[in-house]
């Protein structure tokens, strides 16, 4: 089967410090995984933050970056300097190039809290 693991359920970082949220994936059914980060800000619906469909490539959005590493099967989310507005829940997800969205597998999410 397919799975996405986010090791930290909660992360607290001081404003202007750097951030890394870990994500690893496993798949037995998808030959060319596509990887996503979704984010849920307080009071809003879950929304796409960034997407990478090619191994070795990096995606970026709103100052966040994530590199698709096929060797380590990882897709960690990083930001050099966080802001209070980045407080949200972040979900890593895995899909397949030839599959519909109903096959997307989500991680359990990491709640990010930024300390002022």
**Contact window for other proteins (CB under 8 A) among 18-26, 57-65, 75-83, 90-98:** 90-98
Q: Rule CB under 8 A: say whether 102 interacts with other proteins.
A: yes
Q: Rule CB under 8 A: say whether 59 interacts with other proteins.
A: no
Shortest distance (Å) from residue 71 CB to other proteins? 22
Distance, in Å, from the CA atom of 35 to the CA atom of 32, rounded to the nearest integer, reads 10
Residue 20 vs 41, nearer CB to other proteins: 41
Signed CA dihedral, 60, 64, 65, 68: sign only: negative
- Compute and round to an integer the Cα radius of gyration of the chain: 14
Q: Rule CB under 8 A: say whether 53 interacts with other proteins.
A: yes
Residue 71 vs 102, nearer CB to other proteins: 102
Q: Rule CB under 8 A: say whether 97 interacts with other proteins.
A: yes
Stretch 11-50 residues interacting with other proteins (CB under 8 A): 34, 36, 38, 43-48
> Are the C-beta atoms of 33 and 95 separated by less than 8 Å?
yes
Q: Rule CB under 8 A: say whether 7 interacts with other proteins.
A: no
> Are the C-beta atoms of 79 and 23 separated by less than 8 Å?
no
């Amino acid at each position: 089967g397919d799975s996405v693991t986010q090791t930290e359920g909660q992360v607290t970082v001081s404003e202007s410090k750097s951030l890394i949220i870990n994500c690893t994936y496993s798949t037995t059914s998808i030959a060319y995984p596509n990887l996503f980060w979704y984010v849920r800000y307080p009071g809003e619906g879950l929304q796409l933050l960034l997407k990478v469909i090619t191994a070795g490539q990096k995606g970026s959005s709103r100052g966040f970056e994530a590199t698709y590493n096929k060797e380590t099967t990882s897709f960690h989310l990083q930001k050099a300097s966080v802001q209070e507005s980045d407080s949200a829940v972040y979900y890593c997800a895995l899909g397949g190039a030839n599959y519909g969205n109903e096959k997307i597998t989500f991680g359990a999410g990491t709640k990010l809290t930024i300390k002022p």
